[in-house]
Amino acid sequence: MPITAQHVRGTLDAYLDRHPDDKGSLTVLSDVLNEAGDSITSRKEFRGHVTAGAILLRPDGCVLTIEHRALAKWLLPGGHVEPGDETLLGAALRELTEETGITAAHVQAASPVPLHIDAHQIPANDAKGEPAHLHFDFRFLCRTTVNDVALQEEEVTAYSWQPADMLTAEPLRGRVLASL
């Protein structure tokens, strides 16, 4: 069964219970969720749609980052929710496997509640007929002892294990460092 608006709302509520200071920055997500309903997971919902990602942490305190081909940016592994995904955490683990080759069998999720939810603008993509829109990225903390990565070269051009203190975005940085 595809991810429903009810699942997204439940995950958002559990997140805000842990991080009530983020409520103001996620008002836009709540508003779009109320308006869009179950289409909040559709990549054709251009008011904004849900994506899922993994903050993959090794025991040495390094976090996996990937260079995204289309955006030419270094990001955490993740991407769009697919119709076959049943949970946001499951979508994050699927995306991690697709982009890096690191399977869920080699990953332990810290919690079914995201460590961070980020709302950010995605630029228009004329080639795909997509206007500028928002991504609501549900980011789950995961742990691994794996070092080797097998990149999905259609979407990812490089990877790097970076010390967690090299993350610059707050409150993500502080939360990852606190989890070490």
The CATH number for 96's domain is 3.90.79.10
Lowest mean pLDDT among 14-28, 71-85, 143-157: 143-157
What is the distance between the alpha carbons of residues 157 and 176, in angstroms, rounded to a whole number? 25
Name the domain count of the chain.
1
Q: Which two tokens mark 180? A: 């070490």
Q: What is the pTM of this model?
A: 0.94
Type of residue numbered 141: L
Write out the chain in H/E/C secondary structure. Answer: CCCCHHHHHHHHHHHHHHCHHHCHHHHHHHHHHHHHHHHHHCCCCCCCEEEEEEEEECCCCEEEEEEECCCCEEECCEEECCCCCCCHHHHHHHHHHHHHCCCHHHCEECCCCCCEEEEEEECCEHHHCECCEEEEEEEEEEECCCCCCCCCCCCEEEEEEEEHHHCCCCCHHHHHHHHC
Tens-digit pLDDT profile for residues 36-64: 999 999 999 999 999 999 999 999 999 99
The pLDDT tens digits for 106-133 are 999 999 999 999 999 998 989 889 999 9
Q: Which of 120, 139, 149 is nearest to 179 (CA)?
A: 139
Q: What is the mean pLDDT of the chain?
A: 93
Domain with 107 in it? 5-179
